[in-house]
């Protein structure tokens, strides 16, 4: 194999059969359950890296059902996202994500730096309740419940929120174990179509695990909850800070 062929075709690992395909990455009927809760602001400040700034003690625990995603297929994801400020803009720092498919785990980590690990999230309708659960191995990490479509919300407000920047701490080690890449990445969702959005009463229960420490950001009070369905494109990222 010629060096020129390697340079032209190198995209992902393994080289001979990459774990995921090239983008763009389009999602159809992507369904969310997002429970916003109040936590300890000191715990948030220990977790969120500079130069991002935490102003409020709020965490969003998100469950995402993705039945139709280009290249990634059909999978479910759940985890914690933290509202932050950077460079005069309000956005979101993705702290931890757990999902059930290899392709989006590999692609999310390698391209953008998403903090993805293997887990078993589920988002279903159970009678009159929207139910999200997250397991790590045999251990239940999170259970979220919301009254199913109790009240419709304004899609325009959600559309604006989904246009906010999102931030990731991307780390790729060198062969000696030191960080070869350590950078803050900004990315956006684009071409967003909100197909429906609702709110209702909600609850969230988190459980400790040594390797999936969701309770490091404990639930003090549930603030609000949202259920919505969208089509969107996951755009590629931009490096905004080098560590």
pLDDT tens for residues 212-235? 999 999 999 999 999 999 999 999
94 has pLDDT over 90: yes
Rounded to the nearest integer, the mean pLDDT of the chain is: 97
> Across residues 182-202, what is the average pLDDT?
97
Query: 166 in helix, strand or coil?
Result: strand
Entry pTM:
0.96
Options 8, 89, 116, 149, the catalytic residue: 116
29 has pLDDT over 90: yes
Percent with pLDDT over 90 in the chain = 98
pLDDT at residue 97 in the model: 98
Ordered by start, the domain boundaries in the chain are 20-242
User: Is omega for the bond preceding 241 within 30 degrees of 0, making it cis?
Assistant: no
pLDDT at residue 5 in the model: 95
CATH code given to domain 20-242:
2.40.400.10
Dump pLDDT digits (tens) for 49-90.
999 999 999 999 999 999 999 999 999 999 999 999 999 999
23 has pLDDT over 90: no
How far is Cα 184 from Cα 108, in angstroms, rounded to an integer?
14
Is 170 marked active-site? no
Nearest to 202 by CA among 117, 143, 153, 120: 143
CB-based contacts of 58, cutoff 8 Å, min separation 6: 36, 37, 38, 39, 82, 83, 223
pLDDT at residue 206 in the model: 98
């Amino acid at each position: 194999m010629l060096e020129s062929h390697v340079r032209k075709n190198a995209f992902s690992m393994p080289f001979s059969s990459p774990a995921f395909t090239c983008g763009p990455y389009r999602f159809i009927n992507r369904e969310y359950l997002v429970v916003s809760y109040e936590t300890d602001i000191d715990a948030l400040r220990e977790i969120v890296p500079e130069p991002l700034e935490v102003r409020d003690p709020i965490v969003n625990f998100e469950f995402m059902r993705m039945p139709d995603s280009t290249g990634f297929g059909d999978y479910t994801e759940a985890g914690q996202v933290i509202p932050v400020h950077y460079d005069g803009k309000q956005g979101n720092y993705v702290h931890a994500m757990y999902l059930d498919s290899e392709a989006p785990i590999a692609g999310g980590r390698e391209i953008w730096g998403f903090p993805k690990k293997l887990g078993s999230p589920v988002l279903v309708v159970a009678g009159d309740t929207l139910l999200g659960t997250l397991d790590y191995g045999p251990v239940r990490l999170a259970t979220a419940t919301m009254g199913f479509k109790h009240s419709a919300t304004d899609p325009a407000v959600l559309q604006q929120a989904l246009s906010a920047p999102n931030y990731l701490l991307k780390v790729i080690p060198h062969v000696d174990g030191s960080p070869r890449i350590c950078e803050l990445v900004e990315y956006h969702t684009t071409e967003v179509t909100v197909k429906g959005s609702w709110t209702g009463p909600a609850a969230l229960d988190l459980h400790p695990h040594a390797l999936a420490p969701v309770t490091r950001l404990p639930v003090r009070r549930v603030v609000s909850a949202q259920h919505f369905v969208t089509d969107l494109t996951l755009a590629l990222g931009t490096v905004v800070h080098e560590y």
